[in-house]
Amino acid sequence: DYVLKQHDILQRDEASIDFNDRGYHFGDGIYEVVRTYNGTPFALEEHLDRFYESAKKLDMDLAISRETLISLINQLISKNQLKTGIVYLQVTRGVQDRNHLYSREISPVLTGYVASLDRKHEVMQNGIDLWLTKDVRWLRCDIKTINLLGNIMAKREAADQDCHEAIMHRDGTVTEGSSSNLFLIKDETLYTHPATNLILNGITRQVVIKLAKQAGLNVVEEAFPIDVLAIADEAFITSTTMEITPVRSIKGDVDASIHVGPLTKKLQEAFNNLIS
Ligand code: PMP
């Protein structure tokens, strides 16, 4: 099991993290999760774009070129003989005696690892149950920070209600899932929250919007109220690990029973073609 630490691929037990890492103290860092299919990273360029953008938004300099990063990712995949799985990448601001005020003199700490992860065929076919709850997160959800307390609290709440994923709303306006984006379909039109500061602009979200437009569907990137969930023809979530996963019910702040429908299946087929 090999991991990435700075510019080196090391055995996991050779690598260590400093107690004074700002990621550990403050969640002061960013990350990406990239899917691999048969050893090839999917949408790597888009993930790297977002990685550098997240860093910039937090006044962090990743201090590594794109070419070097791509080379390290590929080494990590091949050293681990990873086939279908994920690459996790993280950069924290660096190591400093605990102080809210960050120094600009410290160097970022890059770490990464891989994990095998099969595609979720069963749920992608049958759908999942969602738990709708309040979005209590901060106002920069567009940054992919490792600080995910709002997300993990919502996810636990959903699991405690026997739901697979939490969907969140701000004052009755649906934002996104705890680790996914939400789409709904009404009258052959796809609706999803626009890529503002209130959601993470998912790479899978961006891919699906492109595929939907290519398939001749209308795509409306507009925020919608929670009551609309109850009258949706179809709904699905998207993420790197869940791909396009249909929704079969929503509980919590609304009650909706939804069929896994033909347009979701059509988009799943288009997605399958893209990754094969
Ligand atoms: N929103 C949030 C809050 C997430 O954590 C994720 C997955 N990390 C997504 C959306 C989906 O993004 P992606 O398609 O890039 O995995």
* pLDDT tens-digit readout, 207-227: 999 999 999 999 999 999 999
Closest protein CA for atom 10 of ligand 1: 180
Task: Return the structure tokens found at 65.
Answer: 């070129």
Residue 244 host element (H or E) = strand 243-252
Q: Are residues 161 and 110 both part of a single domain?
A: no
Q: Are residues 125 and 111 both part of a single domain?
A: no
Q: Are residues 51 and 133 both part of a single domain?
A: no
Distance between CA atoms of residues 273 and 98, nearest Å: 49
Distance between CA atoms of residues 254 and 206, nearest Å: 27
Ligand 1 pocket residue status of 203, Cβ below 6 Å:
yes
Contact status, residue 41 vs residue 34, Cβ threshold 8 Å: yes
Q: What is the pTM assigned to this prediction? A: 0.98
Domain boundary among 66, 101, 116: 116
| Atom nearest to 204 CA in ligand 1 | 14
Q: Are residues 78 and 160 both part of a single domain?
A: no
Distance between CA atoms of residues 106 and 93, nearest Å: 7
Closest protein CA for atom 4 of ligand 1: 179
Domain around 108: 2-116
Contact status, residue 39 vs residue 78, Cβ threshold 8 Å: yes
Distance between CA atoms of residues 89 and 31, nearest Å: 5
Among 265, 129, 152, 151, residue whose Cα is nearest residue 199: 151
CATH number at residue 91: 3.30.470.10
Q: Are residues 160 and 207 both part of a single domain?
A: yes
Q: How confident is the model at residue 62 (pLDDT cuts 50, 70, 90)?
A: very high
Ligand 1 pocket residue status of 245, Cβ below 6 Å:
no
Q: Are residues 131 and 18 both part of a single domain?
A: no
- How confident is the model at residue 22, as a pLDDT? 98
Task: Return the structure tokens found at 232.
Answer: 């949706």
Pairing of strands 181-186, 234-239: antiparallel
Contact status, residue 250 vs residue 222, Cβ threshold 8 Å: no
Contact status, residue 112 vs residue 88, Cβ threshold 8 Å: yes
Domain boundary among 116, 140, 155: 116
- How confident is the model at residue 31, as a pLDDT? 99
Contact status, residue 49 vs residue 66, Cβ threshold 8 Å: no
Q: Are residues 175 and 267 both part of a single domain?
A: yes
Q: Are residues 164 and 269 both part of a single domain?
A: yes
User: Residue 215 Cα, ligand 1 centroid: separation in angstroms?
Assistant: 23
Averaged pLDDT score across all residues of the chain: 98
CATH number at residue 126: 3.20.10.10
Q: How confident is the model at residue 255 (pLDDT cuts 50, 70, 90)?
A: very high
Q: Are residues 96 and 226 both part of a single domain?
A: no
User: Residue 95 Cα, ligand 1 centroid: separation in angstroms?
Assistant: 27
User: Residue 17 Cα, ligand 1 centroid: separation in angstroms?
Assistant: 26
- How confident is the model at residue 101, as a pLDDT? 98
For the chain, the domain total comes to: 2
Q: Are residues 94 and 202 both part of a single domain?
A: no
Distance between CA atoms of residues 223 and 81, nearest Å: 42
Q: Are residues 108 and 208 both part of a single domain?
A: no
Task: Provide the annotated active-site residues.
Answer: 144
Domain boundary among 89, 116, 143: 116
User: Residue 3 Cα, ligand 1 centroid: separation in angstroms?
Assistant: 23
Render pLDDT for 89-145 as a digit per residue (tens, 0 to 9): 999 999 999 999 999 999 999 999 999 999 999 999 999 999 999 999 999 999 999
- How confident is the model at residue 269, as a pLDDT? 98
Which amino acid appears at position 104 of this protein? R
Q: Are residues 61 and 47 both part of a single domain?
A: yes
